[in-house]
Amino acid sequence: MAEFGSPFPEVVDALAHGLVQRELLDWGGVALRITGVKSVEQPEFAGGACGGVRRRRW
C-alpha cells in the first residue's frame, strides 16, 4: 500500500486517473504493482500539519 497526497485535489485526481489505467509502476528501479485506487480521508494532525491534503491510496 502506498499513499500519495497533495493540497490540490486536481493533482491527486489526475495522478489517480493515470495510475488506475496502469498495472505496474516503475519508480526508480522499484516495480510497484497497482491492484486498486481509492480515496482515503486525510488524517487528523493535532498541530495542524498537512491540513487540507487530499490523498489517494494504491
Query: What confidence tens digit (pLDDT) does each residue in 29-41 have?
Result: 899 898 888 877 7
Residue 48 pLDDT level (bands cut at 50, 70, 90): low
Mean pLDDT (the chain, rounded): 77
* 2 CB-near residues (< 8 Å, 6+ apart): 32, 57, 58
Residue 50 pLDDT level (bands cut at 50, 70, 90): low
CA distances 19 to 5, 13, 16, Å, are 14, 10, 5
Residue 10 has pLDDT above 80, yes or no: yes
pTM here is: 0.53
* Phi (first) and psi of residue 3, to 5 degrees: -120, 140
Residue in 12, 2, 19 with CA at minimum distance from that of residue 53: 12
Cβ–Cβ < 8 Å for 25, 31: yes
- Mean pLDDT over 23-52 rounds to 77
